[in-house]
Structure 1
Amino acid sequence: MGRRRRDNVIASAAVLVVIALAVVTQVVYTTSGPGAPEASSSPTPSPSASATSTGDVPSSDIAEDRVWTGELDLNDDVELAISLDGEKAPQAASVVIDLIQQGFYDGTACHRLSDADSAEFLQCGSANGDGTGDAGFTFGPLENVPSDGLYPAGTIAMARGSDPNSQSTQFFITYGDTYLDASTGGYTIVGSVTDGLDQLVANVADAGVVQPEGASQTTDGAPVVDTTITAASIE
């Protein structure tokens, strides 16, 4: 706990990047992270600077303006019951539903973990499992964004870069109440974990973040426990 508090400020900054898209071309650690892809070690998102959605984005009609339920399994020992809100976030829900049905996420890694006191989340969804790669599209607009910057434990939100339309395949799951700078535009809340969050904490989050050799301790980086999406379903 002491280490977490000391690194809280650093993690908060990194978290913003995380959510911004860690991908160099995506949003959310995809080179996108909790919104931003991880194209570089920088905590700042670096997605493609497009003013509008790009590529073949799944139709927002897929979500059918309803709530979808399913399961997301990690490492075969973490079973997360999930819910996607097609009413409050029709475009984002449609994208995630389509990707799950195509099997896009199967076998991909969750490459980023933050375990700061005010930012506890796991980021997943990059095609290459390292924060890079996507499905060939980016999309907007932002939907269902909390005005107070609070993403309660169990939130599933889309990662992105600095451009609101840079959302793609990456998403992050908060396993503790997480606060993100609302002035940056926020992140689309696409759904929630309705059961199994304790498994994520015990089997992944509690082990912490890989610490860089010869550098100051960090609360934001690759999870110590290699984490892979072993199965995903939705209906």
Structure 2
Amino acid sequence: MAPKSPNDREARQARERLRAYQARQAVHEKKTKRRVRDNLMAGIGLAVIVVLAVATQLLYFAGPGKPVATPKPTPSATAAACPPAADPANQGTVPAASVSECRTWTGSLTLNKVKLGIELDGKAAPQAVASTVDLIKKGFYTGLSCHRLTNGGFFVLQCGDPNGDGTGGPGYTYGPIENAPVDNVYPAGTLAMARSGGNAASQGSQFFIVYDTTTISSDTAGGYTVIGKVTSGLDELKTQITDKGVKAGSSASDGSPVVPTTITQITVQ
């Protein structure tokens, strides 16, 4: 047999390289097809999982069947914050706090010929405003004096005592202290209830008008019930009454006003 020429060998090697390339190409195509198939299956599986998750959440929040509205609880008829229950420390027949109607009352308070506009806050101080409104409507205050004036750093005019000396009242006493300022500062125009020191349930008919901003320290019972405010006429009150000072023979800064002062009229509505 004649030996193969170099050309034959090269042709055979070329054919072998071609077969090897074709084999590798077939393997590559199979891997590519498998990868595409695997990705497709994974995508389908993920979609199924998402659909199931969404369906589960809808079922959890909506429940089976049609959603049913949950009825709102009916408020309790006894849950009202205002007016409060009567203070057990009250003495005598105290007007019910409901008289305040838990609302703002407007009116006027005339001292001598000085007419003051006033507001009473029945929501912030329902018991004290109830008592005050009841006394006003009964005509209790008309003709009573303002027996005490303080100045020299403490600026109040106190009124509403039927005895005219700080010892009288309406025949009952009540608490609690309501609407007292937490910082003990009573702005000019404040209307507040007088009481005995250290006794929160000793309020009655006596009240005071703060005619210039005053700090009144709390005692063991607390502060002083703020029932409302003067809305007009305060400047005239000062020039006509309080600026005239304290009557001679009294303490230099605490006593009867020089100008005798009477409640000539008081109304609210």
> TM-score, normalization: structure 1?
0.74
SS in 1 for 2:155: strand
Give the C-alpha shift of residue 115 in structure 1.
1.1
Shift of 1:127: 1.2
Match of 1:85 in 2: 121
Per-residue deviation at 1:182? Answer: 2.3
Give the conservation status (yes or no) of the 8 Å contact 1:138–1:165: yes
Name whichever structure is richer in strand by fraction. 1
Q: Percent identity?
A: 51
User: Closer, same or farther in 2 for the Cα pair 1:100/1:156, shift >3 Å?
Assistant: same
The residue that corresponds to 1:230 in the other structure is 264
Task: Kindly indicate whether residue 201 of structure 2 is the aligned counterpart of residue 153 of structure 1.
Answer: no
| Offset, 1:183 | 4.0
Aligned match of 2:235:
198
Which is richer in helix? 2
The corresponding residue for 1:175 is 211
Q: What residue in structure 2 maps to residue 95 of structure 1?
A: 131
The residue number in structure 2 matching 1:188 is: 225
**Structure 2 matches for 1:107-186, cutoff 5 A?**
107-117=143-153, 119-162=154-197, 163-184=199-220, 185-186=222-223
Q: CA RMSD in A?
A: 1.3
Judge conservation of contact 1:147–1:182 (CA < 8 Å) in 2.
Answer: no
Aligned counterparts of 1:226 and 1:112: Cα–Cα separation in 2: 10
**1:223 to partner: Cα distance:** 0.3
Instruction: Write the distance in 1 (CA, Å) between the matches of 2:188 and 2:136.
Output: 22
Q: Structure 2 stretches of 5 or more lacking a match?
A: 1-87
Structure 2 distance, partners of 1:197, 1:209, is: 18
**CA deviation after TM superposition for structure 1 residue 211, in Å:** 2.7
The C-alpha deviation readout for 1:110-136, integer Å capped at 9, x for no partner, is 00001123x111000101222232111
Q: Which secondary structure does the structure 2 equivalent of 1:181 belong to?
A: coil
The amino acid of 1:122's aligned partner reads L
**8 Å Cα contact 1:109-1:130 kept in structure 2:** no
Which deviates the most, 130-139 or 172-181? 130-139
Q: Which structure 1 residue ranges, 5 or more long, are not aligned?
A: 1-50
Give the match for residue 18 of structure 2: none
The structure with the largest alpha-carbon Rg is 2
Q: Larger relative CO (CA 8 A, sep 6+): 1 or 2?
A: 1
Aligned to 2:249: 212
CA distance in 2 between counterparts of 1:179 and 1:116 reads 12
User: Match of 1:92, SS?
Assistant: helix
1:190-230 Cα shifts (integer Å, max 9, x gaps): 010000001110110010001328xxx61111100000000
Which residue number corresponds to residue 40 of structure 1?
none
- 2-structure distance, mates of 1:105, 1:130: 15
Q: Secondary structure of 1:73's match?
A: strand
